[in-house]
């Protein structure tokens, strides 16, 4: 996948920071690719980049406008179309992770053709998948799972893969969502796969590999989420993880977008092991990744210590405090280095 850089990050007028997680993800992990942001009136999200007009951005050398925000269901609000068309008229390509193809919107298709610009639809793949087989594959796999959607599964996977690589353990980050694909420049958006093929696509994403190689697979959804548990289960079965890390954001009261309560960390550990055993009887939890962004440093450290002791597992905030406790534990459990 080749998307022209640098990027202008479009945040629309989303109602919270989480809705702009694509923009934040690309900026946090690939800051050298990002030039500025552009928002619409009423936008409640913002990055650390300067706000730029389309004219400023193109003059500064921007090549692609990345739609850095997404709502549940991945639809494109009508009032965003004008800015996208305008960006194409300014000579920018567009990259988006929507559930509809950009080119299916006539005004966008016309503007792209007129300006000879590229439309990158990250949620669509040219690949076709067989149905999942469930047979054990060679190599090792680690999957991040969550007590909810949008709790840090992608960041934890990226950080854990970096942690393994830092110790010279052969590993890859396997992207399963549009932001991960933008960061890794490859992968499959698992929530866009036709449901008959979810586990087959997950098997494709983390194929048989060398015995000492680790695929670190970005989790999606949450097994306890009434909207997306099926995506999470297909990914779990297809990934057949040897190890998983539970990601948790401690300040939520209900699951994102619905009225269902947040499950406990122990509930998620138990259910992941119970269901994951279908394709990997040796599946085990190797750590807790606590997203402490909303907490003070002291509060964060105390909570991490408490949760780690309660579950007898290494716990950390991978972004704030690094992944060493979990990587140490993986090395011990699997006799690495």
- Could you tell me which of 27, 58, 23 has the C-alpha nearest to residue 43? 23
164's CB contacts (< 8 A; 6+ apart) are 171, 214, 216, 327, 330
H/E run at residue 96 = strand 93-96
Question: According to CB under 8 A, which one of 259, 298, 312, 335 is a site residue for its own copies?
Answer: 259
As measured in angstroms, the least distance from the Cβ of 233 to its own copies is 5
Given 125, 170, 227, 264, the residue binding its own copies (CB under 8 A)? 227
Could you say which of 18, 51, 103, 134 contacts its own copies (CB under 8 A)?
A: 134
Residue 163 to residue 326: CA distance in whole angstroms: 9
Residue 72 sits in the site that holds its own copies (CB under 8 A): yes
Residues touching its own copies, count (CB under 8 A): 38
From the list 103, 139, 257, 322, which residue makes contact with its own copies (rule: CB under 8 A)? Answer: 257
Q: How many CA atoms lie within 13 A of 48 on its CB side?
A: 6
The β-bridge relationship of strands 284-290 and 315-316 is: parallel
Q: How far apart are alpha carbons 276 and 190 in whole angstroms?
A: 17
| Residues in 148-207 that interact with its own copies by CB under 8 A | 190-200
Phi and psi dihedrals of 273, rounded to 5?
-65, -45
Q: Least distance from C-beta 229 to its own copies, angstroms?
A: 6
Q: Give the Cβ contact number of residue 114 at 10 Å.
A: 11
Q: Which is nearer to its own copies, 229 or 331 (CB)?
A: 229
Q: Which of 178, 279, 316, 323 binds its own copies (CB under 8 A)?
A: 279
Q: What is the H or E stretch that residue 327 is in? A: helix 324-333
Query: x/- binding map, residues 11-50, to its own copies, per CB under 8 A?
Result: ----------------------------------------
Side-chain half-sphere of 44: how many Cα atoms within 13 Å?
6
Does residue number 132 form part of the binding site for its own copies (CB under 8 A)? yes
Which CB, 114 or 277, lies closer to its own copies? 277
130: contact with its own copies by CB under 8 A: yes
| The one among 230, 273, 303, 311 contacting its own copies by CB under 8 A | 230
At 195, list the tokens. 């449901």
User: Residue 238 or 314: which CB sits closer to its own copies?
Assistant: 238
Binding site for its own copies (CB under 8 A): 72-74, 99, 130-135, 190-200, 224, 226-231, 233-234, 237, 257-260, 275, 278-279
């Amino acid at each position: 996948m080749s998307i022209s850089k640098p990027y202008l990050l479009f945040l629309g007028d989303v109602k919270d920071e989480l809705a702009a997680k694509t923009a934040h993800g690309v900026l946090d992990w690939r800051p050298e690719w990002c030039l500025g942001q552009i928002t619409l009136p009423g936008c409640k999200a913002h990055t650390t980049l300067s706000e730029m007009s389309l004219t400023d951005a193109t003059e500064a050398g921007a090549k692609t406008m990345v739609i850095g925000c997404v709502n549940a269901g991945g639809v494109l609000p009508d009032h965003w179309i004008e800015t996208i068309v305008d960006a194409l008229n300014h000579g920018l390509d567009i990259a988006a992770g929507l559930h509809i193809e950009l080119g299916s919107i006539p005004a966008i298709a016309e503007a792209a053709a007129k300006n000879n610009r590229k439309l990158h639809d990250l949620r669509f793949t040219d690949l076709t998948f067989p149905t999942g087989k469930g047979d054990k594959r060679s190599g090792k796999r680690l999957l991040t799972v969550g007590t909810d959607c949008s709790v840090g599964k992608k960041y934890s996977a990226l950080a854990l893969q970096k942690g393994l690589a830092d110790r010279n353990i052969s590993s890859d980050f396997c992207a399963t969502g549009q932001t991960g694909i933008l960061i890794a420049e490859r992968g499959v958006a698992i929530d866009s796969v036709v449901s008959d093929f979810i586990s087959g696509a997950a098997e494709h994403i983390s194929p048989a590999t060398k015995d000492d190689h680790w695929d670190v697979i970005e989790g999606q959804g949450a097994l306890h989420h009434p909207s997306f548990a099926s995506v999470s289960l297909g990914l779990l079965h297809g990934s057949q993880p040897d190890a998983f890390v539970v990601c948790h954001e401690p300040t939520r009261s209900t699951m994102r977008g619905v009225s269902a309560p947040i499950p406990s960390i122990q509930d998620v550990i138990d259910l992941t092991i119970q269901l994951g055993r279908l394709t990997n009887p040796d599946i085990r939890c190797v750590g807790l990744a606590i997203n402490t962004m909303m907490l003070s440093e002291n509060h964060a450290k105390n909570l991490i210590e408490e949760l780690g002791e309660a579950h007898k597992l290494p716990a950390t905030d991978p972004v704030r405090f690094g992944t060493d406790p979990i990587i140490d534990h993986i090395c011990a459990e699997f006799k690495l280095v």
